[in-house]
């Protein structure tokens, strides 16, 4: 029995690649050179595509696969996938939300606590022998402070539950208010920034949210407040953030995502009031395996029922 031909755009977890190879006729696109010629000659053979949130699937790639019926994305983000083109062609697009909520929320709270209490900075202080000379400076309390969440979706709501354990007051801003949520709604991102002690970016990426956290928003946040980003690097104007950190416009930032990963600007890396993580919010053995399982299940569900298990929302 012939296996279904599955095109893989970008590397995935080794165990996922092995599982896919056992079930499908798996073809790694990056091994085909030149890729354009390969797609022109054999693109019509593939009914399925697997990719990651980072690598995605461009308009050009989707159009080069005329028989494509399903795309399975490893990740909660899908802004690198041309979902609109896929849905116009009735191509199912699956992704892996929910299974990474807890680990991303844990990371978000870890960044928040670290940048306020300066644990990473104080670790460096101790290792450099500075404690022998003087106590580490006082830092900022977390418990009881005001947390503004920009993007109160699945992950944002999980962060809010974590923050409630620290007795934090929570408000949020989305494109529209959700009456089912127990938190106060701020009608603009600017008003949320003015109100909060910590601004948490947990929104989706893409053109609609690009650079919404601008120099003006950072000024609204103010010199005693902090910015945390576990969403997408594109949400923040990174150059404006660097200048704000250098000039004391805001107190500090905790970042897991950047504009041009893994290229983090040297000016940002030099700043002691920034806690910088290498995009590891969901990077635990348990969560990555759950994501891999859902990538596999999305494909299997499509070929059994004609629908992926978890589909991306319909494009506007």
Give catalytic residue positions.
232, 261, 279
- What are the start-end ranges of the E strands in 66-166? 70-74, 92-94, 146-150
Contact between 151 and 101 under an 8 Å Cβ cutoff? The reply is no
Numbers of helices and strands, H then E, in the chain:
12, 12
Which residue is it, tokens 């073809």? 27
Instruction: Give the helix/strand (H/E) hosting 26.
Output: strand 25-28
Residue among 139, 109, 152 at smallest CA distance from 256: 109
What one-character DSSP code corresponds to residue 25?
A: E
Q: How far from 307 is each of 69, 71, 91, 93, CA to CA, in Å?
A: 10, 11, 10, 9
Return the structure tokens found at 142.
């977390």
- For every residue of 216-273, DSSP letters joined together read HHHHHH-TT-EEEE-S-GGGB-HHHHHHHHHHTSSSEEEES--TTTT---HHHHT-TT
Contact call for residues 79 and 260 (beta carbons, < 8 A): no
Contact between 226 and 115 (Cβ < 8 Å): yes
Question: Is 118:141 a contact under the CB 8 Å cutoff?
Answer: no
Cβ-based neighbour number of residue 280 at 10 Å: 11
**Across-strand partners of 15?**
none
């Amino acid at each position: 029995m012939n296996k279904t031909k599955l095109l893989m755009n970008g590397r995935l977890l080794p165990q996922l690649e092995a599982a896919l190879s056992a079930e499908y006729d798996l073809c790694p696109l990056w091994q085909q050179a030149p890729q354009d010629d390969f797609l022109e000659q054999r693109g019509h053979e593939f009914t399925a595509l697997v990719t990651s949130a980072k690598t995605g699937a461009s308009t050009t790639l989707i159009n080069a696969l005329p028989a494509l019926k399903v795309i399975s994305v490893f990740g909660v983000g899908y802004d690198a996938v041309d979902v609109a083109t896929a849905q116009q062609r009735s191509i199912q697009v699956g992704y892996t939300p929910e299974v990474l909520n807890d680990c991303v929320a844990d990371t978000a709270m870890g960044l928040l606590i670290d940048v306020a209490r300066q644990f990473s900075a104080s670790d460096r202080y101790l290792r450099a022998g500075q404690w022998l000379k003087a106590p580490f400076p006082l830092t900022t309390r977390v418990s009881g402070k005001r947390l503004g969440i920009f993007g109160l979706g699945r992950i944002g709501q999980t962060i809010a539950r974590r923050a409630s354990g620290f007795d934090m007051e929570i408000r949020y801003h989305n494109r529209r208010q959700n009456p089912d949520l127990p938190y106060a709604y701020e009608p603009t991102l600017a008003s949320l920034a003015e109100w909060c002690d910590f601004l948490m970016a947990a929104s989706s990426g893409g053109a609609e949210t690009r650079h919404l956290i601008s120099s003006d928003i950072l000024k609204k946040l103010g010199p005693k407040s902090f910015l945390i980003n576990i969403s997408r690097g594109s949400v923040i104007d990174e150059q404006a953030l660097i200048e704000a950190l250098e000039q004391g416009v805001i107190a500090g930032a905790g970042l897991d995502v950047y504009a041009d990963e893994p290229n983090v600007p040297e000016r940002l890396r030099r700043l002691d009031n920034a806690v910088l993580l290498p995009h590891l919010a969901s990077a635990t053995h348990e969560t990555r395996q759950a994501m891999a399982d859902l990538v596999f299940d999305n494909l299997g569900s499509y070929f059994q029922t004609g629908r992926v298990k978890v589909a991306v929302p319909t494009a506007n």
